Each structure stands twice: as structure tokens, then as C-alpha cells.
Amino acid sequence: MGRGLRRTSYEVDPESGLFEPEYVNIFGVPYTFIPHEGGDGPPPRPIPPKTRIEPVPEQAEFEISWPIVLRIDHEYRPLLSLDYSKLFPLDLNAYETATLAEMAPVIDSKPDVTRISEIDLLELARKFRMQMIAFEVARDVYDNMNPTWKGNKEYLLAQLIALTERFIASDRIRITPVLFAEDDLRRRLVLTLNMSKLVQHLWEAIRFENASRLVPIFDTERPIRSTADMRTWYTSKPTGPTQKSHINQCVYDSTWEEKAAFELDRDPDVIAWAKNDHLGIEILYVYQGKVKKYIPDFLTRFASGTMLVLEIKGQDTQQNRTKRGFLDEWTKSINTHGGFGHWRWDVSFDPADIPDILRRASGRSS
């Protein structure tokens, strides 16, 4: 019974947003734990056939390899700077920030609701002046940069405090509604309760703009992987055969990706490509204080030797911009190393722009 109730597929039905139903008949004498489904209602919908996805020997000439980067060490310039005009604005919504908290002592792992006391968070804002907010943010950014900073630590902290004060006073922080943006007390409240976002936003801007050298740290056990390492897997999603890919079928998560696969196969300068599905190309990035994994969509090799990481993105968000910042850092670190050829990246915001992206990456003028 335990094996019978294990799912064989975890693909989500795009119409219902749920897993496809799977059925199993269990026989036993006696067995009354779960009644057998049948007799009433229509028969269960048949499970759609699965497509086998795997690298195939007859297309081995299109094998693509890539380095496995565990982290990227930064060597910063001694004098830090920040171009605030190029800094993406940070949007903070006061309606999404809690302004009241209720606290109660916990007895036997349960809160004693009869002894709840209210804490007005506006009192917190009265205690946190702008200078204290700037110092707290600068301190957390300092903790992130300190391990790789080679200069004087006190000088680093002094620079970060100055950059933070300018950032907090700039128009790069957009608070809604306007009442919270114009009222000093409420503005300090929103900044105080969103301090982790301030730290993340400022740290990303500083590290991307002030790194003089990026040093990729590779996986010592398996520093290089390729499409040949992909294990066979099965899918019920739409697929199509490939011409210039080591993988026999390309899995389409959207018609946009189907368009991209078509253009990759027909472009004369593309000599190999692969959809990054079960390949294991992952780029670590930090968003809102949490380390996440970013999985780009396509990897392409051109006749010139250039490698292109292509991302399909219909809607742009702050998190997507953060991903691209770390992707840019990832490609720059590989280019700095120099042992894996020249890498670049691009993003398709419209299906019609894919041919132009491939043309630019290949170096073809028209």
C-alpha cells in the first residue's frame, strides 16, 4: 500500500493548479482501511503518456559543458562609490507592514490569551531616529562585506555609513501611501520594519558596482558538468524534437519557449543549445536575506565560441532584477577566470526579440 500511494509524477495540471490524480487498486483479505474507488461516477481520467527526456548518442556533437560555481569572492575597490541615478528604486508598502503587535506569555506551548498586551510599533519608530536606522543598515552591510575586505575595517564602516545615509535620504526609496512617505515618524516606522530589505538592496548595489575583481570558487569534486550528465526523466508536458541539442526533446513550459527553441534550431550561428531542465545549472542569489537558487532557461553555444545564458521573462519584478544582477556577476566571474571561454547573458521580454538577441550574441551585424 505504501508503494502504491507514492506519486509517480509531480507535474501540476495548468487548468486546475493541482497534481494530476493517480489511482491504485489495493487487494487484501480483509482490507477495509480505504474503500476501493469504483462503481459510482465516471471512470478516472487516463494518465497522459510520458515523454522520455535524455541525451542521445547520435546528437553528442551538440554536447554543452559549464562550470559549477559554489560562490563568488569579491575584491572591492578601497574607495567605495554608488551611482544613485542608476540604482533601482526600492518600493515599500506601508499597508504590508504590521504596525501593531499583540504579545502573550506561552504556557504549555500555548499562548495565554487572557494576558495579551499590545505593543504599538509607532513607539519603536520614535526610538529609532534616522541616524540609528542608517547605522543599523550600514552595520549589516558591513557584516556581509567584512570577510573579503582587505583594507582597514573602520574605514569600510565609515564609508558604508555615509553611503547608507545618502541612500535613505534619496528618492531611491519609494514609500506608499504618500502619507507615510511625507510624515517623518511614519516614514521611520516603515524603514525600521523593513530594515532587512534596505540592507539587501544597498548591499547588492555596492557589491555589483564596487567589485574590482570577481573570483569564482568551483566545486572541487565536480568542477565541470555537461549535458551528458543529465539522467533520463519523463514528462507529460508538451515537447518537441531538437536538431542542435544533445537532449532529444525540448520541454515547453510555454509557447514562448517553443518559439525560442525554434529560433535556436534555425539560427545559422547557433551550433548547440540546451533547455536547462534537469541539467543542474543553478545560480545562487540572495533576496530579502535568503539564499535562493536561480535556474535560467537556455544555454547556447555560438560558432564564435561565445556562450549565451538566455532567460525568458514576461514580467519584470524586483526579484527578477536581483536574479539578473547575480547572473551578470556569475558570467563576469567566469570570464575573469578565463578558462571557460567568453560568456554573456540576455533576457527576452517578448517572443519577437529572440532573433535580435541571438544576432547580438553571435556578433552578426545583420
Instruction: Give the torsion through C-alpha atoms of 315, 320, 321, 327, to 10 deg.
Output: -130
Can you list the domains of the chain with their CATH numbers? Answer: 51-72+216-362 (3.40.1350), 87-213 (no CATH)
Closest CA to 354 of 275, 231, 267: 267
Task: Return the number of other C-beta atoms located less than 10 Å from residue 69's C-beta.
Answer: 19
How far apart, in whole angstroms, are the C-alpha atoms of residue 310 and residue 298? 5
Quote the distance between the C-alpha of residue 184 and its chain's center. 34
pLDDT given at position 187: 84
Burial 23-50 (b: 16+ CB within 10 A, else e): eeeeeeeeeeeeeeeeeeeeeeeeeeee
pLDDT given at position 322: 87
pLDDT given at position 75: 86
How far apart, in whole angstroms, are the C-alpha atoms of residue 144 and residue 195? 15
Task: Return the number of other C-beta atoms located less than 10 Å from residue 95's C-beta.
Answer: 8
How far apart, in whole angstroms, are the C-alpha atoms of residue 100 and residue 236? 48
pLDDT given at position 73: 87
pLDDT given at position 178: 84
pTM given for the model: 0.71
Residue type, 226: S
Residue 147 gets which letter from DSSP? G
How far apart, in whole angstroms, are the C-alpha atoms of residue 151 and residue 160? 14
Cα R_g (the chain), whole angstroms: 26
pLDDT per residue as tens, the chain (366 positions): 666 667 767 777 777 778 877 777 666 655 555 555 555 666 666 666 789 999 999 999 999 999 999 988 888 888 999 998 888 888 888 777 665 555 555 555 555 545 545 555 566 666 678 888 899 999 999 998 888 888 888 999 999 999 999 999 999 999 888 887 888 888 888 888 888 889 988 988 998 889 888 889 999 888 999 999 999 999 989 999 999 999 999 999 999 999 999 999 999 999 999 999 999 889 988 877 678 899 999 999 999 999 999 999 867 888 888 899 899 999 999 998 988 999 999 999 999 999 999 999 998 766
Burial 325-353 (b: 16+ CB within 10 A, else e): bbbebbbbbbbeeeebeebbbbbbeebee
pLDDT given at position 191: 86
The cell for 137 is 543598515
Residue type, 108: D
The cell for 96 is 504590508
Closest CA to 305 of 363, 354, 228: 363
Burial of 220 (0-12, 13-18, 19+ CB in 10 A): exposed
How far apart, in whole angstroms, are the C-alpha atoms of residue 186 and residue 194? 12
Determine if the peptide bond prior to 30 is cis (ω within 30°). yes
Name the one residue in this structure whose C-alpha cell is 536574479: 323
How far apart, in whole angstroms, are the C-alpha atoms of residue 49 and residue 75? 52
pLDDT given at position 113: 46
